[in-house]
Structure 1
């Protein structure tokens, strides 16, 4: 029998405009405008991963 605490975890998705308008990502707004797609939703973890990957690349 399942416990009451065993509910599935629902992750919230945010649009590009919601993310770029947020205070959390204010310093990365220009980067995110270039990296994120307009008609797609992202979790906070996905956005963190995308920005960390971009910022971790070697400059040529």
Structure 2
């Protein structure tokens, strides 16, 4: 068995570092998903705006 202070250090540091890594990874994934969703929504809005403009021009002969 190792030194008790080393064992205590490993039992506190390693789970803390693992939790910090998981929190960083989940934040990164969340941020990426939010950016992808924002881009997709922007693309859909652009498509709908263009379609509505063309429909308006066709109906009113502008």
The TM-score with structure 2 as length reference comes to 0.31
Bigger radius of gyration, 1 or 2?
2
TM-score under structure 1 length normalisation: 0.32
Higher helix share: 2
Identify which of structures 1 and 2 has the higher relative contact order when contacts are C-alpha pairs closer than 8 Å and 6+ apart.
Answer: 1
